Structure 1
Amino acid sequence: MPQNQYLKVSEFFDSKTVLQNGIQQARMETNELRHDMDNKLTLLTTQIQQILGSFNQQISKNDTIVELQDKYGDLLDNFTKLQNKYIHLQDKYVAQESELLFLRNKTTSLERRVTDLDHLKSVQTIKNEFELQQQVQVLKSETHVLTVNEQARRQDFQALYNLTLNLGKKADKLDEKIQKSDLRSNISLLDIRKEIDDLVINQTNLTNTKVQKIVHDTNKSLALINQQIVKTNEKVGLTACMDTNGNRASGSILKFHDVSTSYNIHNLQAFQNTGKFKCEEEGLYLVSAWIFARPAPYLAILKNNNLIGRAYSYDSTSHNSATFVGVVNLNVNDFVWVQTDTSTNVYNHPRTSCLTIIKIK
Structure 2
Amino acid sequence: MRSIGEMARESGLGVSALRFYDRAGILVPDRVDPVTGYRWYAPEQLGEARVLARLRRAGMPLADVRLVLAGWTAADTDLVRRLLEAHLRRLQEGLSAARVEFSALHDLLDDRENPLMTSPRSAARLSVSGPGLAAALDAVRFAAGTDPDLPVLAGVHLDAEGDALHAVATDRYRMAVARTAVGGHGGGRVRATVPLPLVDAMRALLDGEDEVSLAVDDGRVTLEAGDRQTGGRCMEQDFPDYRRLVRLPAGRRAEVDVPAFTEAVRTGPVRRHEDGGTKSELTVLEVSEDGRVAPVPEGADGPDLVAVNRAFLLDALAAAADDRLVLEFGAPTTPLAIRRPGDEHTFSLLMPVRLSD
TM-score band w.r.t. shorter chain: under 0.3
Higher strand share: 2
What is the TM-score when the length of structure 1 is the normalising length? 0.19
Higher helix share: 1
What is the TM-score when the length of structure 2 is the normalising length? 0.20
Q: For the pair shown, which has the larger CA radius of gyration, 1 or 2?
A: 1
